[in-house]
């Protein structure tokens, strides 16, 4: 990631910055392609931000918990976290190791969301509908009719598919879709909110020029649906990430 990112950033800068500069109200001298110094400063800042993330209290805390569980031979107390220990094939969601990292002082969700979804008779479709209703409750338009006709919400029986959930904007307008194999459980409940967050963002920039039909940064895109998860963290997050606990490796 660290080596890849500057290259990606440089390409994005080279393509996007001139267009941005032409449309912005910046002073004439600032219009046109970024200077080498501007591009370098951008990449340096991004690298520094990424370094801060990898060295964050949360990263440190999770690493310590994994070290506690697996021992030094598997997960060292320092350095990167092994990607295959994070409970997700792509390491992009850490929710599946919640039971490993939750503080020992009795903190917990206080309820079993999977059991509640089952008890209330949720289906994969109604989970997606619930996510849609959440965004509608914030004032956004309902998802288009075609979304419900064209999305893949459960694993089809007649063919092999790639089940990793993703959100699509086929025509960069209103043909937004979900591709997923949803099961009725807490993890997928958050997944549908996450993916519909992508759809929301995709639709929000449909009237923008092509170059701007994406998040300003992938992180923004990923964050839209994930703010819904904040409810899982609540006050315990601050406890869980206490610097002293983390850096003592406990």
Shortest distance, position 222 Cβ to Zn ion, whole Å: 5
- CB closer to Zn ion, 93 vs 174: 93
- Is 222 near Zn ion (CB under 5 A)? yes
- CB closer to Zn ion, 117 vs 178: 178
- Is 174 near Zn ion (CB under 5 A)? no
- Is 226 near Zn ion (CB under 5 A)? no
Q: Which stretch binds Zn ion (CB under 5 A): 29-37, 41-49, 98-106, 214-222?
A: 214-222
- CB closer to Zn ion, 174 vs 222: 222
- CB closer to Zn ion, 71 vs 220: 220
Q: Which stretch binds Zn ion (CB under 5 A): 17-25, 185-193, 215-223, 227-235?
A: 215-223
CA distances from 23 to 19, 74, 115 (A): 6, 51, 52
Size of the site for Zn ion (CB under 5 A): 1
Residue nearest to Zn ion (CB): 222
Q: Which stretch binds Zn ion (CB under 5 A): 21-29, 82-90, 222-230, 235-243?
A: 222-230
- Is 187 near Zn ion (CB under 5 A)? no
Give dist(CA 185, CA 118) in Å, integer: 8
- CB closer to Zn ion, 21 vs 153: 153
- CB closer to Zn ion, 187 vs 222: 222
Shortest distance, position 194 Cβ to Zn ion, whole Å: 6
Q: Which residues bind Zn ion (CB under 5 A)?
A: 222
């Amino acid at each position: 990631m660290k080596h890849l990112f500057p290259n990606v950033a440089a390409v994005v800068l080279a393509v996007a910055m001139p267009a941005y500069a032409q449309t912005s109200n910046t002073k004439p001298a600032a219009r046109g392609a970024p200077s080498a110094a501007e591009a370098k400063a951008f990449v340096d800042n991004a690298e520094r931000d990424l370094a801060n993330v990898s060295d964050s209290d949360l990263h440190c805390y999770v690493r310590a918990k994994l070290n506690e569980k697996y021992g030094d031979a598997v997960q060292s107390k320092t350095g990167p976290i092994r990607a295959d220990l994070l409970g997700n094939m792509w390491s992009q969601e850490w929710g599946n190791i919640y039971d490993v990292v939750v503080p020992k002082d009795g903190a917990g969700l206080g309820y079993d969301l999977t059991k509640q979804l089952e008890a209330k008779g949720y289906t994969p479709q109604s989970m997606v509908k619930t996510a849609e209703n959440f965004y509608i409750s914030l004032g956004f338009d309902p998802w288009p009719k075609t979304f419900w006709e064209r999305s893949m919400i459960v694993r089809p029986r007649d063919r092999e598919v790639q089940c990793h959930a993703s959100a699509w904007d086929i025509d960069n307008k209103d043909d937004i879709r979900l591709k997923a194999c949803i099961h009725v459980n807490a993890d997928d409940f958050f997944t549908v909110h996450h993916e519909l967050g992508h759809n929301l963002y995709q639709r929000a920039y449909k009237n923008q020029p092509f170059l701007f039909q994406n998040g300003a940064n992938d992180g923004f895109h990923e964050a839209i649906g994930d703010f819904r998860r904040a409810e899982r963290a609540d006050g315990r997050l601050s406890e869980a990430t206490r610097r002293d606990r983390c850096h003592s490796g406990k």
